[in-house]
Structure 1
Amino acid sequence: MANHLDLEEQEQLDQFKHFWKQYGNAITWVLIAVLGSFAAWNGYQWWSKRQAEQASAMYEEVERLIGTGDLVASTRAFDDMKQRFPSVFYTQQSGLNLAKAAYLSGKPDVAKTALTWVAGSKADTGLAALAKVRHAGLLIESKEFDEAGKLLSTDFPSEFGGLVADKRGDLALSQGKSDDAAQRFNEALKLLPQQDQYRRLVEVKLAALGSTEAK
C-alpha cells in the first residue's frame, strides 16, 4: 500500500515538475507583475499623501506672505511651490490667491502670469476654469480684446457657462457692442442657477443697458 502511494506521489510530482517547467516562468512573471502593481499602488498612495501634506504646508506659507503684503516674497514662494508640487490642488489655489493679491496691489502682469499657470494646471479643472475667467477679465480691463476673446472661446466645464457668458458680455460692452452685450448677459442669466448670488450683478448690468431680464 505504501509503495502504491509512493508511486502515486511520485507521478504527481513528475506531473507538477513537467507543468512547472512548461508554465512556471510565465506564472512567476505574472505574480511579480501583480505584486509589483500592488506595491506600486501602495507607494503611489503614500507618495500622494506625502505630497499633499508638504504642499499644504507651503500653501500656508504663501498665504502668510500674501498677508504681509510682500508680493515679491509671495511670488518667490509660489514659484518654489510650482516647481515642487505642480500637480497639487493647493498649488492652484495659491496661484489664484497670489493673482488676487497682485491685482489689488496694482501688478496686473504678475496676476496674469499666475492665472496663466493655474489655467494650465490639470490638478483641478474647476480652478483652472476659474483662472481662465479671471484672466479674461484682466485682459478686457487692459483692452487686450482679441486675447480675451480667444481665451473665452476655449473649452470650459458646463457649470461655468453662466460666468463665461457674463464675461463675454463684458467683452462686448468694452468694445461698444451694447446689443451683443445684452444678449450675452441674458444668456448668463439663463445659465446661472436661480440661487446664485452672481445673478444680481448680471441683472445690474442689464438694467444699465436698459435691457429686460431673461426669464
Structure 2
Amino acid sequence: MSELFDEVDEELRREQLKKLWDRYSIFIIGAVVLIIAAVAGWRGYQYWEGKRAAEAGAAFEAAVTLAEQNKQTEAEAAFTKLAADAPAGYRTLARLRAASETASRDPQAAIKLFDAIAADGSVGQSEQDLAKTRSGLLLIDTAPYDEIRQRLEPVTAGGRAFRHTARDLLALSAWRANDVAAARQWVELIMNDAESPGSIRNRAEALQALLPPVAKS
C-alpha cells in the first residue's frame, strides 16, 4: 500500500513540475540565454581588452626604441598617438613620455603637457607627482623660487614617491634665490630623512657647506 501512495505522490510531483514548466519555461529559457550571453560578452570584452593591451605594449616598445635611437620627432609622434588611443595604463605612460620628448625641442610646450597631467584627476598620484617634478626641473633655471615651491612643495610630503627629487630641486632653487632660510629648511629635511638617496644627500651636504652658519643667539 505504501508503494502505491509513493507512486501517486511521484505522479503528482511530475504533474506539478510539468505545470510549472509549461507556465515558466519561457522565463527560465530566457534567463539561461541571458546568462550565456553575459558570460560570452564578458569573455569577448576580456579578449578585446587583452588584445588592445598587447597592441599598445608593442607600440609603446616601438616608440621607446625610436627615442633610444634619438629619433625624437618620430618618438614624440608615436607617444602622442598612444596617449590618445591606448588603454588607460599605457595612455598615462605615453603622455609622460610624449612630454619628455617634447622637452628637448620646446621646454615650454613640455611644461604645459606635464602640467596637464599633474592636473588630471583621473591620473594616479605618483604619475601626477612625476609630472610636477619634471615641470619643476624644466623651470629650475628660469622660474622664481616661489613658483617652484608652489609646484613642488606638495610632492615633498612623507611617503610621496618623488619627494626626494622635489626637495633637492627646492633646496637648489631657494639657494639660487638667496633665500637662506628656505634652502636650509630643505637641506635639513633631506639630511634628516634616512631614505634620502646618496646622490641627493651628497648634494645637500655640498649646499649646506655653502650656506652661512646659523647665527648664535
TM-score (structure 2 length as normaliser): 0.69
Distance 1:52-1:6 versus aligned 2 partners, 3 A rule: same
Does the 8 Å CA contact 2:66/2:75 hold for their aligned counterparts? yes
The one-letter code of the counterpart of 1:202 is A
Does the 8 Å CA contact 2:114/2:131 hold for their aligned counterparts? yes
| Runs (5+) with no aligned partner, structure 1 | none
* 1:23-34 paired onto structure 2 within 5 Å: 32=34
Question: How far apart in 1 are the matches of 2:139 and 2:20?
Answer: 71
TM-score (structure 1 length as normaliser): 0.69
Question: How far apart in 2 are the matches of 1:148 and 1:17?
Answer: 78
Question: How much does 1:187 deviate?
Answer: 0.8
* 1:1-215 paired onto structure 2 within 5 Å: 4-13=5-14, 16=17, 32=34, 36=38, 42-85=43-86, 87-89=88-90, 91-103=91-103, 105-119=104-118, 120=120, 122=122, 125-143=125-143, 145=145, 147-154=147-154, 158-191=160-193, 193=195, 196-210=198-212
Does the 8 Å CA contact 2:187/2:208 hold for their aligned counterparts? yes
Question: How much does 1:81 deviate?
Answer: 0.7
Question: How much does 1:176 deviate?
Answer: 2.6
Distance 1:15-1:48 versus aligned 2 partners, 3 A rule: same
Q: Which has the larger radius of gyration?
A: 2
Does the 8 Å CA contact 1:178/1:209 hold for their aligned counterparts? yes
What's the C-alpha RMSD, in Å, of the aligned pairs? 4.0
The one-letter code of the counterpart of 1:169 is A
The one-letter code of the counterpart of 1:77 is A
The one-letter code of the counterpart of 2:108 is D
Question: How far apart in 2 are the matches of 1:144 and 1:30?
Answer: 67
Query: What percent identity do the matched residue pairs reach?
Result: 22
Question: How much does 1:182 deviate?
Answer: 1.3
Equivalent position SS for 1:158: coil
Question: How much does 1:85 deviate?
Answer: 1.2
Question: How far apart in 1 are the matches of 2:177 and 2:197?
Answer: 30
Question: How much does 1:184 deviate?
Answer: 1.3
Question: How much does 1:131 deviate?
Answer: 2.1
Does the 8 Å CA contact 1:162/1:187 hold for their aligned counterparts? no
Question: How much does 1:45 deviate?
Answer: 3.8
Question: How much does 1:167 deviate?
Answer: 3.0
Equivalent position SS for 1:142: coil
The one-letter code of the counterpart of 1:107 is D
Encode CA deviations 1:83-120: one digit per residue, 9 max, x unaligned: 1115124x4444444444443x3521233244235443
Question: How far apart in 1 are the matches of 2:150 and 2:31?
Answer: 51
Question: How far apart in 1 are the matches of 2:12 and 2:136?
Answer: 78
**Equivalent residues, number:** 209
Equivalent position SS for 1:88: helix
